[in-house]
Structure 1
Amino acid sequence: MNTNHAKTTFDLHTHHERCGHAEGDIEAYIQAAIEKDLEVIGIADHAPYFHKSEDHPSPRITMAKSDFPNYVNEVLSLKEKYSNKIQVLLGIECDFFPGQMDNYKKELQKYPFDYIIGSVHFVENISIFKKGRFEGLTEEQKRQTKEEYYRLIELSARSRMFQVLGHIDAMKGFYPEFSQIETEAIEKTLPILAASDLAIEINTSGKTKDAGGWYPSDEILERARYYNVQVTFGSDAHTPDRVGDEFNLVKQRLKDIGFKEWVYFVGKERQSVKL
């Protein structure tokens, strides 16, 4: 772990127009970060669906495979352009599909990513953000769905592909009652995350969904602290004005819970920052 010269203000999770559901170009997010006095800004748009045969099967979700090199080159160019104003990091948010990740590994290793965020967006082949997906389910079926979600998160951690895991209770986004589904799944998952030498993000985009607040909940963060899970920060901004959103509030909350540090990654090496 490299702790030398670590910057203190950062946001690792921002998107831009390439994914088809965010606004503004990459430079707009970098400029927003500078205006908000951040020292580090990570660009981490959605990776193409490398496990599918089409070049651009989901234009409202991810960028095209053919556009991926352009994404990387643009971030690297802007990293150089703004090097005297802010540290720009090359990241990517990569979906985790069990049994389908070989193509992702092959493509991602071609480029000098500072970090890769692993996110589970689909459970039982249904988007975790699909409104109404829990309607009509029995309590047992709801429990099974939640446990499958955390099984996939465990598998994503064990894959060793990622430095950060994204929004680990985002399934509550349009179903706030998700947090009250009783299961030991989270208690089983957190020690695995701690042993995997990665960080979970505190993601402030939950405020834009029905659940409000952040991902994950304070209750999960308290258990994460107990198991010594590392934490980082990501706004998950899809508009430039949300860059760094609630950074200082998250920092204070983590201190209140008992965390002593949080981290970010440069060249996939962990940078530790005292809270």
Structure 2
Amino acid sequence: MKFDLHTHHIRCGHAEGCIEDYILAAIEAGLQAIGISDHSPYFAHPDEQPHPGIAMARSEFARYVDEVLRLKEVYKDRIEVLLGVESDFFPEHAEIYRAAYEPYPFDYIIGSVHQTRGVSIFNRKRWKGLDEKRQIEEKVHYYELIRDSARSGIFQILGHIDAMKGYYPAFSDIPAHEAVDETLRVIAECGIAIEVNTSGKTKDAGGWYPSDEILERARYFGVNVTFGSDAHKPSRVGDEWEEVRTRLKEIGFDHWVYYRRKQPVRVPL
């Protein structure tokens, strides 16, 4: 069973193609299930669309859901279309986001930490001039937020849990192993999944999120894994799915999961 749970489209302002383009690409790639998971609006911000190049407008959210549900019906005999969304996690606004998602029949919600201390995790400048002590503090804080997102109960999947390395590959070498292990332990306790996200290849880091080292620790703690290309153009749907499957088997995983109506569906590797 081949699936991809992490895709975007034009509503977020930094992806190519409409939702249907991604569904057709998934069919062409031989997928049996495709998840649509565009960036949710900034629900806690007073403006309708404070960052047009990052996330959809608040007024687009219901239209987004309606479009996915319509296409789910249109393509039901060719592929399973899953209704998802990638949500930012801001602990101080968690209840606002929870309430915004509650009315809709999501198959899953991906929780992603994209900012810490108000700065994008992809901002190269955030590391400039920081000594090792400060770098460790920043990495520990990042994983504290990921733990909080797991405990929130809002999400079924946590997105790209070492994406801070995207434009700063040295992030992986910052010694904060205890913080990473504690985060994986909490994720396992909460019964949610982490994604193997192949979009890291499009950044300076070059590889997947998370690293093999983290995946090995995830297996030790009993964390479920899933697959997401994080495609921002249709041609990347399912990108490196077979390679990820092979690597997970080498690490020792025997299954991965996708989600339907927020319940995990176990798929043998």
TM-score class normalised by the smaller sequence: over 0.9
Deviates more, 1:184-193 or 1:227-236: 184-193
Query: Counterparts in 2 of 1:4-83, with a 5 A limit?
Result: 8-83=1-76
Alignment partner of 1:142 out of 130, 135, 143: 135
1:197 to 166, 191, 198: 191
Looking at structure 2, the residues matched to 25 and 131 of structure 1 have their Cα atoms a distance apart, in angstroms, of 30
Answer yes or no: is 1:235 the counterpart of 2:235. no
TM, length-normalised to structure 2: 0.99
What is the CA-CA distance between 1:100 and the residue it aligns to?
0.7
Q: Residue type of the partner of 1:33?
A: A
Which amino acid in structure 2 is aligned with residue 120 of structure 1? V
> CA offset at residue 11 of structure 1?
0.1
Task: Say whether 1:112 aligns with 2:105.
Answer: yes
Whole-Å Cα distance in 1 between the matches of residues 44 and 134 of structure 2? 28
Matches within 5 A, 1:235-274: 235-274=229-268
Q: Distance in 2 between matches of 1:52 and 1:101?
A: 13
Residue 51 of structure 2 aligns to which amino acid in structure 1? S
Identity score, percent = 60
Question: What code does the residue aligned with 1:69 have?
Answer: A
AA matched with 2:174: I
- Report the TM-score, using the length of structure 1 for normalisation: 0.97
User: Which residue pairs with 1:226 in the alignment?
Assistant: 220
Q: Find the aligned partners of 1:107 and 1:156 in 2 and give their Cα distance.
A: 16
Give the partner amino acid of 1:130.
N
More helix by share: 2
Quote the Cα distance in structure 2 between the aligned partners of 1:30 and 1:110: 24
3-state DSSP of counterpart to 1:115: coil
Q: Deviations over 1:237-262 (max 9, x none)?
A: 00000000000000000000000100
Amino acid of the residue matched to residue 254 of structure 2?
Answer: K
Q: Aligned pair 1:188/2:188, yes or no?
A: no
In structure 2, list runs of 5 or more residues that go unmatched: none
Using the alignment, how far apart are the partners of 1:88 and 1:210 within structure 2?
Answer: 31
> Any conservation in 2 of the 1:14–1:243 contact (CA below 8 Å)?
yes
Distance 2:154 2:61 in 1: 18
Cα shift at 1:67 = 0.7
Is the Cα–Cα contact under 8 Å of residues 13 and 237 in structure 1 kept in the other structure? yes
For the residues of structure 2 that align with 1:28 and 1:188, how far apart are their CA atoms? Answer: 39
Matches within 5 A, 1:115-126: 115-126=108-119
1:160-175, aligned counterparts within 5 Å?
Answer: 160-175=153-168
Number of aligned positions between the proteins: 268
- Secondary structure (helix, strand or coil) at the match of 2:93 reads coil
Shift of 1:188: 1.3
State the 1:132 CA deviation.
2.1
Q: Which runs of 5+ in 1 are unaligned?
A: 1-7
Contact kept? 1:51, 1:101, Cα under 8 Å: no
The alpha carbon displacement at 1:133 in A equals 1.4
Counterpart residue number, 1:217: 211
Candidates 202, 206, 220, aligned match of 2:200: 206
Instruction: Read off the aligned partner of 1:189 and give its amino acid letter.
Output: T
Distance (whole Å) between structure 1 residues aligned to residue 233 and residue 124 of structure 2 = 22
Deviations 1:76-132 (A, max 9, x none): 000000001000000000000011111111110110000000000001110000122
User: How many angstroms does 1:33 deviate by?
Assistant: 0.2
